[in-house]
Amino acid sequence: MIDSIISALFFVTLIHITITTRLAEYIKALVIQGILIFILTTSNYKEIGLFHTLILGGGILFIKTLLIPYFIAYIIKKIKIKREAEVSIDNFYSMLIAIIIILISFIIAMFINYFDKSVNSMLLAVSIASMNIGLFIITSRKKIITHVMGYLIFENGIYLMSFALAARIPVIIETGVLLDVFIGVLMMGIFVNRIATTTESLDQSELRRLTDSCN
């Protein structure tokens, strides 16, 4: 029951992310996703063990819901991004694409569940949808900082897949993923900050023109 509720709420955050144009809303959605993943982790303590739950739960609560969102908000404030995130696809079509991705994810999850009943079809569907919508955010948004958030959404999908597959991924690997995510975001933040000191725009189109001019 709890898995279905978390999956439904996660789907809502994914759709919201595809239609919003405000960077603050992206950060809020990431925080909500982090909280949902934390609840999912703690609710499965019997499967992964109390000690492992404390390790993962603490890491998720600190890294996903506090540290990473704060760091992204700090970078946005430091490089003074005042405009809303620009998109190359209209919000209506973005929402339509997100819904199609979710429907296809459900079909794939149900197909896999038909052959392996131990697979949680709801969590598998939301994990597949999260990974694909994360990639969609990366390819359809223009600002590099938004690409970082798309990467985080993609990673959330990978983490959810471990629970969809009956928590078969060892806790050490999951903990390593959390650390890799933080390091990755830290590196991207430094990269974005360095770019901001040399160019007035953080749009990938402007950076592409800069590369063309250098050639």
Which element (helix H / strand E) includes 58?
A: helix 50-59
SS3 87: strand
> At which residue do the structure tokens 């990673």 appear?
155
Q: Are 64 and 160 in contact (CB under 8 A)?
A: no
- Rounded distance, CA 66 to CA 206, Å? 32
Give the number of domains in the chain. 1
Domain around 16: 2-214
pLDDT for 213: 47
pLDDT for 92: 83
pLDDT digits (tens, 9 = 90+) for 59-98: 888 888 888 888 888 877 877 765 555 566 777 888 899 9
SS3 143: strand
Q: Please report, as a single letter, which amino acid is at residue 93.
A: Y
Query: Which residue ranges of the chain lie beneath pLDDT 70?
Result: 81-88, 166-215
pLDDT for 197: 56
- Rounded distance, CA 2 to CA 36, Å? 10
pLDDT for 207: 47
Query: What's the token pair of residue 131?
Result: 């990974």
